[in-house]
Structure 1
Amino acid sequence: MVDSPAEPPFMRVGPGIAASPVVLSVPHAGRAYSPALLKASRLPVAKLESLEDRLVDRLIWRAVAEGSTALVAQTPRAEIDLNRDEREVDAAMVSPPPAAGTLLASARTRGGLGLVPSRISGSGAIWLQRMTGVELRRRIDEVHRPYHAALARLLEEARGRFGVAVLLDCHSMPSRHGEADSPDIVFGDRHGASIAPNFLAVAVEAAESAGFRTERNTPYAGGYITARHGRPDRNIHALQLEIDRSVYLGPDLRSPGSGFEKTARMIAAVAGALARKALEPAQDIAAE
């Protein structure tokens, strides 16, 4: 199957020139399911949609209206996962299989959630047949690499203008509200590797002030996007934000719920707090 997308794979939203040091990334909310992709699937579109971070692209509107720039995927996660290394491929789903030395084995690929998802929990295998190596390369060359190149440009643009850039990588997570003390949101900073502690602290404070229970790095410590783009030593910081879907979606977990606007305000508050911290004057260090 070779499937050229009818929709652009992603879009930039927000000001044409960076008005804030904060850049938002929404890699998993794409809903542009092409006819060829649906024809290749043994599962109905409703099952493929379960891979989405449902409507997270709509949650960011307040943050964008207040000056943040965002890069929003339109290509669905079922086609290619932008939060995976391009080498995280299940060789068994590609014909002919890629050379073993070109792949990166991970728990995600073993679980069917690699660069191209191969299975959905409770539903089984996704695809009717193995994809061609040509199609895999097309998805990498036309979607994955351009997305990350565009995100890197936005961060460099922000850093060039403000001296620092902060990436807020926005996701949703399955509901855990049946569990005791379950968080509403989880911040992931690769256990301190992707963002300076003072930025993480203001993000947590903003979310908790907005009425959300937070956790750090458990069970989500940040994925490929935060690992690739977070470079605190270069004044480019990255933080993953995971939001419990039951917090902002209705009982069907598909449509906006009563908490939708509150969650949008929280994201804007976190982006605003990160921007204010980034724009603080650098502290002079007194000579000793």
Structure 2
Amino acid sequence: MEPRDDIASWLAELPTPYEVLAPAEQSLPVVVASPHSGSIYPRAFVATSRLDPMTLRRSEDCFVDEIYGRVPDLGAPLIRALFPRAFLDVNREPFELDPRMFEDALPGWVVSRSPRISAGLGTIARVVASGCEIYRSKLRFEEALQRVGRLYRPYHEALADLVRETRRRFGYCILIDAHSMPSMGGRAGDELGDSGVDFVIGDCHGASCAPELPDLVEGLLSGMGYSVVRNDPYPGGFTTRHYGRPAIGVHAVQIEVNRALYMDEQSYVRRPELTRLAMDLTRLVGAVGGTRPSPME
């Protein structure tokens, strides 16, 4: 059986798996990445999934790229994946795969056990965020090779280039990995209760950046009236762990925003509050770009 033509047909319509929104001239030592806001679904993927298109979007960080869309006007680049997280998750190891999803045996070098795989959320996810199974039938490993080779690697090569060039230009780089999370309460609305938060800041429990960076982010967001916690339940994914190298001047922080602040989570429709949130986070990026985190051993 030949692998399905999901990627070939997708790339025929859209020649690149990512987009870099670059400033005319970079003036801030910041890179913003939105790995999960992609919403262009391969038609063959949708056709062969057991889920309808709306349910497939449950894992999508809807509109996060739009929320940070004014960042290039400040002088910082924004990179966004165009393919959806349900098809391939670039915030994972390149081959973090569940063997139960494949009809052929996986090579020994594949990461086949991790908490993310157990949850069904590996590099190629078994389920969407709501827990619904994505696929009607098993995949072949060749399909994983194609997705990683033609989507995952180009995205990370572009992100690595942005980080490298920013560090070369300024002597250091601050990477903001931008995400959204299902509603958990907080200022997003009284109907959500008082137990949740608006933002979760992840710094891999202090390993991915100098401590003053999450201190600054938390202080700015709190000053804007948002509720903020750190590392629980999102300490930072592959991007934060992989790129965060404070000893060499690369500081990575993950920012998760409560979706109920800016969208209807059932209909995937923007709320008017998105405009204010975008203004607040643009201001945050500008303030972060004006700081230089201290070196770490």
Output the TM-score relative to the length of structure 2: 0.89
Aligned letter for 1:11? E
Residues 25-70 of structure 1: CA deviation (Å, up to 9, x unaligned): 0000101111111112111110111110011111012222222201
Aligned partner of 2:279 in structure 1 is 265
Deviates more, 1:124-133 or 1:162-171: 124-133
Deviates more, 1:229-238 or 1:261-270: 261-270
8 Å CA contact 1:18–1:157 kept in 2: the answer is no
Aligned letter for 2:36? H
5+ residue gaps, structure 2, are: 186-191
Describe how 1:1-288 pairs up with structure 2 within 5 A. 1-3=4-6, 4=8, 5=10, 6-7=13-14, 8-15=16-23, 17-120=25-128, 124-177=132-185, 178-250=192-264, 252=266, 254-278=268-292
8 Å CA contact 1:251–1:257 kept in 2: the answer is no
Residues 163-206 of structure 1: CA deviation (Å, up to 9, x unaligned): 11000000000000135342100100000000101122111122
Report the 3-state secondary structure (helix = DSSP H, G, I; strand = E; otherwise coil) of the residue aligned with 2:177: strand
Indicate how the Cα distance of structure 1 residues 31 and 219 shifts in structure 2: closer, same or farther if over 3 A, else same: same
Aligned partner of 1:286 in structure 2 is none
Q: CA offset at residue 22 of structure 1?
A: 0.6
For residues 101 and 158 of structure 1, the distance between their equivalents in structure 2, rounded to whole angstroms, comes to 32
Residues 206-234 of structure 1: CA deviation (Å, up to 9, x unaligned): 21222211111111100001001111011
Structure number with greater CO (CA < 8 Å, separation at least 6) is 1
For residues 71 and 28 of structure 1, the distance between their equivalents in structure 2, rounded to whole angstroms, comes to 11
Aligned letter for 1:268? T
Indicate how the Cα distance of structure 1 residues 93 and 252 shifts in structure 2: closer, same or farther if over 3 A, else same: closer
Give the percent of matched residue pairs that are identical in Structure 1 and Structure 2.
32
Report the 3-state secondary structure (helix = DSSP H, G, I; strand = E; otherwise coil) of the residue aligned with 2:23: coil
For residues 203 and 222 of structure 1, the distance between their equivalents in structure 2, rounded to whole angstroms, comes to 15
Residues 223-280 of structure 1: CA deviation (Å, up to 9, x unaligned): 00100111101101100000000011136451111320121122212211211002x9
Indicate how the Cα distance of structure 1 residues 191 and 144 shifts in structure 2: closer, same or farther if over 3 A, else same: same
Report the 3-state secondary structure (helix = DSSP H, G, I; strand = E; otherwise coil) of the residue aligned with 2:174: strand
Residues 85-137 of structure 1: CA deviation (Å, up to 9, x unaligned): 12210111123131244224111111111111112365632111111211110
For residues 150 and 87 of structure 1, the distance between their equivalents in structure 2, rounded to whole angstroms, comes to 19
8 Å CA contact 1:246–1:253 kept in 2: the answer is no
Aligned letter for 1:244? N
Q: CA RMSD in A?
A: 1.8
For residues 138 and 59 of structure 2, the distance between their equivalents in structure 1, rounded to whole angstroms, comes to 19
Aligned letter for 1:176? M
8 Å CA contact 2:173–2:249 kept in 1: the answer is yes
5+ residue gaps, structure 1, are: 284-288
